[in-house]
Structure 1
Amino acid sequence: MAVVRSAWQRLRELDPRLLDGGLAGALFLAAAAQMLASGPEQALRLPAVAGTTLPLIWRRRYPLRCYLVQFLSALLTLERPALAVLLALFVGLYSAGAYGARPLLTLAAPLGSSLVLLLLFPSANPPLPAWGLQLVAGLGVWVAGMAVRERQARLRAVEERARQLERERGLAARVAVADERARIARELHDVIAHSVSVMVVQAGAARRLLGRQPDRAGEAMREVEGSGREALTELRRLLGVLAERPDELVLAPQPGLDQLDALVGRVDAAGVPVDVRIVGTPRPLPPGLDLTAYRVVQEALTNVMKHAAGARTEVLVEYGERDLRLAVVDGGGTRAATAGAGAGRGLLGMQERVAAYGGHVEAGVLPEGGFAVRARLPMEEPA
């Protein structure tokens, strides 16, 4: 049995055109040998034999045409066909059912059945049982072809669905990678940009004060050192989250509005005076929402240091019943913007963070001068 299965598998791997050509040739030779064995005069019928067997070479590509050629060749020229001719006709009928165009399939069964009857019973009154047997045989072959056709169609549909799912998985994976890259870029920006901005401002102040007020220059450099250490700590935490091994994770609480005073203190020490106003009763926020609120204020203050250095700034945190409102408003810079200051990524990341919680951000230049960032974050109703 294993040998048979192996041989069948090898046959299925061959080119179908080669198999069809071999089948047509074998049936032609078998039919010709049987007919010539009856007498030399049967050689005149070889063209009809060729017409009923050799079209099988194209049975997959032109199934109905192939079968019609077989039908006409057998119907017009043969009286008592060889067994190989009958087999060829049944193969053609099967191929019409398996590979033919659907609207034309209904023609194959009656044509095939009629042909079989005429070939086996040329008299006008064939025996009824034999007539019924041949009709059932013809229809059975056609139905078998149809069944194979439907099975192949289902297999193709399943394969196409599998390919579609694979494409969708690939697309989803690419989208996930892009989203993850954007998230990492946003986190790196939020973690590094603020601390580096403070360091740049303080380093510039230290350079200007170094010759005239060394004590204040030293204080500014200590602020640079502190901001650098904070940036390294945040960077280690972020890299720990991205680490592949769980034991490499650096566990630390995420910043929130409870650290707002420390944030404002660093900005104020960098030369940007900040006033904080709290409206409403502060209450604990969900960790993700708390982090988002902190990042919004942090990014807005970072932009003040970059683009409006020295401007007096007001930070408003308003706790409402259903939402949290944030505002960072500066009065316009009094010194040149920090060298290399850019724009775009921070505000975009801020909008993405807030949108994830169903909120929105507004940012723009004020008519009287200065710049304002306002955000609204929906909160759960208090219990």
Structure 2
Amino acid sequence: MALLFALASVVPALQDQGTQLGDLPRRPFDALTIAVVALECLPLAVRRRWPALCLALVSVGFVIDQLRAYHTVAGAALAIALLSAGAHLQRRRRTTIVLASAAYLALAVALDRQGSTEGVTGFAIFYLLLVLPWGIGAWLRQTRAAEAERRRHVALTARAAERTRIASELHDIVTHHVTAMVVQAEAARYLTAAPERLDTALTAITDTGRRAITDLRHLLDLLNPDHGADPRTPSVGKLRALVEQTRQAGQPVEFTVEGSPARTTGGAEVVAYRVVQEALTNALKYAHGVRTTVHVHHRDRETTVQVSTEGSGSYAGGPGGSGRGLAGLRERVGVLGGEFSAERRADGGFDVRARIPTGSPS
């Protein structure tokens, strides 16, 4: 832009098209004209980084241009400098306005003494024309500030939602692993007479604790702002490990999987894992030792999960259970556009079912 204005100023066909303030007779170009054009145009290259300096230099060049009556096309660069200052100047904006207005007043007085026929009205109108680009720049600055504030608010909201999600994940993990460890420890109390089985039970408790620590570290890593990895997606192998852990805690579990997960699940695999985890945790807590079946069916556009526990017991959501885990699952499945149910059967058993669409919700 700076070079464009400079080149336009020396084009013969445009030499009569420049800014003319004061209506003084035009003076032919001379050696000083090159310096004036450079002073008006070249500072535009730094108008965003140093807007105040750019405006000051361009204004000096404009004053000399008008007092010497060159009336170059480069005089239009003053409008660009004013717009840039209004948009990018961060400090001492009022001082800049006062100084610029005082400089314009001094220029008007000097031109009047040189015989200008512009008059007060003409000078006032030109001043208002100079205020316009500054006002446009100030409006752009306010718009950018409002957009930055909106993005900051969106980021804070997203961060709070992510922390809530992680807190829910921590609830599920801690509840499941601690429940399994407690049940395993209770069972170990009755195995003192069988050292081999006692060793197996204590090993299971140790393995459960290690898995809990690993999962907690992974989730806490997500709180690190420098953490760039995608959240881990539990695979079928992870589900098998979860079932095996529950079996080691003394819960008879039958596990079946049909189909293969879709390439793009949109979080469905994670939710399916949490559904199985929460249901098995409730089975351990409130129906320990009762036969439990886990069935996971992967289809093209959805994954269905069903966990059933036979017999009677005090399940989550009923006496002795808060139901907060199931409520959280219902919310997670609903976010993906799926369906979730947890209900007692007529024979006293309990069923947890979830239909989870794969991909992002529309």
Q: TM-score if structure 1 supplies the norm length?
A: 0.53
Aligned to 2:260: 283
The equivalent residue for 2:95 is: 13
Distance (Å, rounded) in 2 between the aligned partners of 1:331 and 1:240: 38
Q: Where in structure 1 are there 5+ consecutive unaligned residues?
A: 24-83, 88-132
Supply the distance in 2 between the matched residues of 1:192 and 1:364 (Cα, whole angstroms): 24
Q: Which has the higher contact order (CA 8 A, sep 6+)?
A: 2
Shift of 1:240: 5.4
List per-residue Cα deviations over 1:63-114 (Å, max 9, x = no partner).
xxxxxxxxxxxxxxxxxxxxx9xx9xxxxxxxxxxxxxxxxxxxxxxxxxxx
Q: Cα distance, 1:357 vs. partner? A: 4.3
Question: 2:268–2:303: 8 Å Cα contact kept in structure 1?
Answer: no
Structure 2 partner of 1:361 = 340
Whole-angstrom CA distance in 2 between matches of 1:341 and 1:11: 63
Judged with a 3 Å threshold, the aligned counterparts in structure 2 of structure 1 residues 366 and 147 are, in CA distance, closer, same or farther, namely farther
Aligned residue for 2:356, secondary structure, equals: strand
- The residue number in structure 1 matching 2:33 is none
Please state which structure has a larger fraction of its residues in helix: 1
Shift of 1:239: 4.9
Letter of the structure 2 residue corresponding to residue 177 of structure 1: R
TM-score (norm 2): 0.55
Q: Secondary structure at the match of 1:198?
A: helix
The structure that has the greater radius of gyration is: 1
**Corresponding residue for residue 158 of structure 2:** 176
Does the CA contact (< 8 Å) of 2:341 and 2:354 recur in 1? Answer: yes
Deviation at 1:201, TM superposition (A): 0.9
CA distance in 2 between partners of 1:178 and 1:252 (Å): 17
**Aligned residue identity for 2:281:** T
The residue type paired with residue 299 of structure 1 is E
CA separation of 1:148 and 1:276: change in aligned 2, threshold 3 A: same
Structure 1 residues 194 and 137: alpha-carbon distance in aligned structure 2, compared to 1, 3 A threshold? same
Deviations 1:1-49 (A, max 9, x none): 99x959x999952997xx99xx9xxxxxxxxxxxxxxxxxxxxxxxxxx
* Aligned mates of 1:263, 1:302 — CA distance in 2: 10
Is 1:226 matched with 2:211? no
Deviation of 1:315 after TM superposition, in Å, equals: 1.6
Match of 1:325 among 304, 308, 324: 304
Offset of residue 199 of structure 1: 0.4
Taking structure 1 as reference, are residues 155 and 307 closer, same or farther at Cα in structure 2, changes over 3 Å only?
farther
SS in 2 for 1:369: coil
Equivalent position of 1:81 in the other structure: none
Mapped partners of 1:11, 1:171: distance in 2? 27
Equivalence for 1:301:
280
Q: For residue 146 of structure 2, what is the aligned residue in structure 1?
A: 164
Contact residue 261 and residue 298 of structure 2 kept, 8 A: no
| Match in the other structure for 1:44 | none
**Which amino acid in structure 2 is aligned with residue 181 of structure 1?**
R
Q: Identity of counterpart residues, as a percentage?
A: 35
Give the match for residue 144 of structure 1.
126
Contact 2:307 2:351 in 1 (8 A): yes
Given that 1:256 and 1:293 are in contact with CA atoms closer than 8 Å, whether structure 2 keeps it comes out as no
For structure 2, the residue ranges without an aligned partner over 5 or more in a row are 1-38, 40-52, 61-90
| Cα drift, residue 305 of structure 1 | 1.9
